[in-house]
Amino acid sequence: DKAKLTLFINTILEKGKIIFAKDLDSETIMGLCMFHKSEYWFSKEQLMNIHVLYIRKSFRNYKLVKTIIDSVKNVSEGLPINLSVTSGLHIDPVFEKLGFQNMGSNWRLL
């Protein structure tokens, strides 16, 4: 849905940030991260909420993911960083290595 996607991207641009990782040799976008400051649904405590973390399959490696997450940390003002994984890639060990703590799971009924 192009209109919905445009609204989402514009909202992130207004309230948050987008990080692009680009291969300078091939001028190819390797991946991106979209995030913004938010509050927990149950309190006024703030956090940094990562909505999208995507790395193209041919560029997926720990170093690139770490670089992007470190970039988020650099602007997070010491706030906790929340990342909800909704893919079937099963890369929990990568997020644990990056310092994320598993706080539950997302479930989807098909």
What confidence tens digit (pLDDT) does each residue in 2-61 have?
999 999 999 999 999 999 999 999 999 999 999 999 999 999 999 999 999 999 999 999
pTM, to two decimals = 0.82
Task: Write down the pLDDT at residue 48.
Answer: 94
Two structure tokens written together for 56: 């193209």
Task: Write down the pLDDT at residue 85.
Answer: 76
Task: Write down the pLDDT at residue 2.
Answer: 96
Task: Write down the pLDDT at residue 110.
Answer: 60
